[in-house]
Amino acid sequence: MAPKSGLAKAGTSVYNARVTAPKHPPMCDFAERPFILFWEVTRACALACKHCRAIAQPKAHPEELNHEEALALVDEIAELAPPMLVLTGGDPMMRRDIFDIIERATARGLRVALSPAATNRLLHTDFHKLRAAGVVSMSLSLDGATQATHDAFRGVPHTFERTLQAARMAKEAGIQLQINTTISRSTLPELEGFVDILKEIQPDVWSVFLLVPTGRATLEELPGATELEALWSRLLELRSELPFAIKTTEGHHYRRALMQAARSSGSPAPRHMVPTRDGKGVAFISHVGEIQPSGFLPLTAGNVRTDKLADIYRSHPLFVQLRNDDALGGKCGRCEYRRMCGGSRARAYGSCGDMMAAEPLCNYIPAALRGDSPQS
């Protein structure tokens, strides 16, 4: 198939005025554009993480988007105008042109976040230069509460201390810091240890990622639904104890727990909850240009080398179905919280092969199935 016009050629326009991205991402119409767009700029990575959805490799894939394609893609993403663009991998710092990509995206008015691996390469990067190029936030992973457990999870020694050092460097450079923690059967017992470390790091956001069985992650590592209800309860307590925000990734039923807690206390629902999920307010572009609902739901709707990104996101049946709250199957489709939660479509797919099936790690029984009147 012939390349679509524009992407195969270098985007050579010169942007004379830098557009300042807003401090906080604004809400948007999920049918028109994703709230957050993840771009896996490379699959190259020096780490060997146990749960890696990308099954990252030490060297770049030979068909990875080249420099000219990458800059042209930035221009196309800017036309779609997602409130947040996350450059991820692999390790995005493994791309030689990563600063060019960041600067181009910033010049086009995109709010850029970076999700690098904690390696010596990162520690030898000028974080002030990253901030000047336009990186407004950075996410670093902390998947063990001790050096031994974190390094074992990440597959390379010394990543624990490098993560802590990178966190300090990001804060010193004025980059908003998010710490990502994978919750699996093996890491869940370390929860309080994570809390203690985070009190020292003082990130802006703690993102609790609930494992999805894709890539190197396995079904056997998923925690139980009852354990997760206890986790949600503990996170609700920590919201009032910790000086930074707590959110979940692929743990959408935490939002249900938040709404239940607010209702039981007579309080209004928490503000700033964004009801995204795979394909609904979220999109993903792979290292070779595949357009997918998320990095954890490896179903391909098109490719930026041949298709318009906006057209695929807005009109492809895969995305249209995922955005339809009333198309959800099982108890998720009957749940009064389905519009705010909707469960992890990626985990449903990874667990049973049906992306619209019920969230496998939720034991909540919807009011409609209990015979109660919904109160959502």
What are 12-60's pLDDT values in tens digits?
332 223 333 444 567 789 999 999 999 999 999 999 898 999 888 999 9
Convert the pLDDT of each residue in 285-327 to its tens digit. Answer: 999 999 999 999 999 999 999 999 999 999 999 999 999 999 9
Q: What was the pLDDT predicted at 374?
A: 55
Please name each of the domains of the chain with its CATH number: 36-327 (3.20.20.70)
Q: What is the DSSP string of 161-225?
A: HHHHHHHHHHHHTT-EEEEEEEE-TTTGGGHHHHHHHHHHH--SEEEEEEP-SSTT--GGGPPPH
User: 165-188 as b/e, with b when 16 or more CB fall inside 10 Å?
Assistant: ebbebbbebebbbbbbbbbbebbb
- In this prediction, residues 56-71 reach a mean pLDDT of 95
Phi, then psi, of 183 in degrees rounded to 5 = -100, 115
| Residues in contact with 323: Cβ distance below 8 Å, sequence separation at least 6, in sequence order | 30, 31, 279, 280
Count, residues in the chain: 376
Closest CA to 294 of 273, 275, 331, 322: 322
Q: What was the pLDDT predicted at 56?
A: 87
**How large is the greatest C-alpha to C-alpha distance in the chain, in angstroms?**
62
The rounded distance, in Å, linking the Cα atoms of 22 and 298 is 31
Helix (H, G, I), strand (E, B) or coil at 9: coil
Convert the pLDDT of each residue in 74-116 to its tens digit. Answer: 999 999 999 999 999 999 999 999 999 999 999 999 999 999 9
The rounded distance, in Å, linking the Cα atoms of 33 and 323 is 12
Given a cut of 60, whether residue 235 has pLDDT beyond it is: yes
Give the pairing of strands 282-285 and 36-40.
parallel
- In this prediction, residues 107-132 reach a mean pLDDT of 98
Convert the pLDDT of each residue in 169-192 to its tens digit. Answer: 999 999 999 999 999 999 999 999
| Residues in contact with 265: Cβ distance below 8 Å, sequence separation at least 6, in sequence order | none
Q: What was the pLDDT predicted at 10?
A: 37
The rounded distance, in Å, linking the Cα atoms of 362 and 352 is 15
Q: What was the pLDDT predicted at 54?
A: 86
Q: What was the pLDDT predicted at 25?
A: 66
Given a cut of 90, whether residue 231 has pLDDT beyond it is: yes
CA 63 to chain centre: 24
The rounded distance, in Å, linking the Cα atoms of 284 and 61 is 17
Look at the alpha carbons of 254, 255, 257, 262 in this order and tell me if their dihedral is positive or negative: positive
What are the distances in angstroms from CA 367 to CA 7, 114, 128?
49, 40, 51
Helix (H, G, I), strand (E, B) or coil at 338: coil
Give the pLDDT band (50/70/90) at residue 335: very high
pLDDT above 70: percentage of residues in the chain: 92
- In this prediction, residues 240-265 reach a mean pLDDT of 95
CA 227 to chain centre: 23
Asked whether 334 and 359 are in contact (CB, 8 A), the reply is: no
